[in-house]
A and B are shown apart, each in its own frame.
Chain A
Amino acid sequence: MNHPGSIIPGLLNIVLGLAFLMAAAALLTWVERRLLGFFQDRPGPNRAGPFGSLQVVADGIKLLFKQDWIPPFADPAVFVLAPAIAMVTVMLAIAVIPATPVIGIIGNLNVGLLFFLAMSGLGVYSVVLAGWSSNNKFSLLGGMRAAAQMVSYEVFMGLSLVGVVMLSGSFNLTDIIHSQRHLWYVVPQFIGFVIFFMGGIAETHRLPFDLPEGESELGAGFHTEYSGMKFGMFFVGEYIGIILVSAMTTVLFLGGWYGPFLPPFMWFGIKTGFFVAFFILLRAALPRPRYDQFMSFGWKLLLPLTLLNILVTGALILGLPGPS
């Protein structure tokens, strides 16, 4: 990648990757609504285009043409910055994911896993700043909840991955996938897998862990004051977040692109799609815990479990004669 000629394919890669991601996130909003409709005995959006698939376009146009409004009582600079952070951090984090040995932007980054954790850590700023700068009590409550929730679940999410890193001996996501050639980590690291996925739901603040939004309590929580494309950026950010967490789970625990018969890209897509659908099913099925219950669940149950998981994994690696 050193000589200047390689810049153009690199750029092309980024542009195509971004375009694909945006399209996938947009399509996901439609998929989610159709799936929810299916789960809930109702049609879902089915008017615009075949099976309502152009609903995405209609929504996009609506959001784009809405007045770009900043409430007079808000802090304008921060108010604008917050949705940008939401979108930028998830998109940057996606860059480290290798979809196949050849597709991916920086799938070979030697600190890929850390980069992912760093970006999702930065993502907390978006909700906190949005909640704070809106100068609205509901937003503030949402922002406060978001800060506490995301910071704590960041901890469990990071710790739940230690086992994977110990087993694979690398932070490089491509290496992690390679090391799962024979056995997916979901088997030896089942606890880590469950906790990582729960942390992922908390990070993307989706039901049942959507307390920062908590629509029946806080209206729309931290983004109550947002409308138009700024709201759209939170929205798209959330859906890219879903893809991100699903893809990361695939990479870390389900052996990434590995699978028989089908080409690697298909396998990656199927596995990721499975988790995306699971996200949506969760949303259709579960109620929302109360904020304090959710926090004590994290600190009193998940934290000891992750630590135990690390302990046991470490002991086994030391005790058993490893392949390496």
Chain B
Amino acid sequence: MIYEILHKLLLEYLFLPFNHLLNTVTELYVHYRNTIVSWLLQYRLIGWILTRFRSLFISVIKVGYVPQHISFIMDGNRRYAKSFDLPVKKGHEAGGLNLLSLVYSCKQMGVKCVSAYAFSIENFNRSPEEVNTLTTLFAEKLDDFAARAVDYTDPLYGTRLKIVGDFSYLSSDMVERIRRVEALTQNGDDFILYICYPYTSRNDIYHSIFNTVDKKINNINTKQSTDNSTIHIKDFSNSMYFDSFSDKCDLLVRTSGHNRLSDYMLWQTHESSTIEFTDSLWPDFSFFSLYWMIIRWSFF
């Protein structure tokens, strides 16, 4: 009886009004934020100040610790587009732009490797039109990016781009395109960007198992090495898609409010990495939110 009363009292009279108020305020904020921001951004001065601030913040974090490997699950592009009544394609475009700007910031900060979940194998279950749009968009961005990574006036110069995933799902045309871009950027060695396209982590583990067994059998058949060498976890990790970054991802960011990994980076994050979940949609996930996470990461 007391339990019931207490329950009712606390939930209905203490929490609910407060929550309601909070919800209204956040709704108002979300509703008007974009108007306010775009109104401010039309003045060149404010844009300039923002970029100055950005670079100041970047120089500040540079003198401390930064994570080696940051990873993003870019979720929420479609909801973002819907909230503005735009076609889905625009949402994905906005997401792509946001990724580029964050990658640029990460590079400046001294992060060694960024990886992003662009397309899951499960995403082939989506409507064919959307898969098509995503594929063409991806191809366009790929060439775009390659051009920027080899242009020494561009801030992204010196980036090595690697596309990882199960290419057996892609057309041969696409694979050739990917190989060409990778070859173009292979000289950049101070920063690596992994784009996971079509990727799932289970598939990654499976491939690693398959390749390890394959290699082992080949060794036995050709009698190159004695069979006594056993398979170790470290070698196993290194045979995964992310090469030397396969072992650990320092900071994983998942946007749009789901607290799960959705088949991404299972092997990399299950031991000692920080996983951050945030409610904002991917195109809304700004530099400053990322900065806050990195401060938090390096503080501890």
A binds B: no
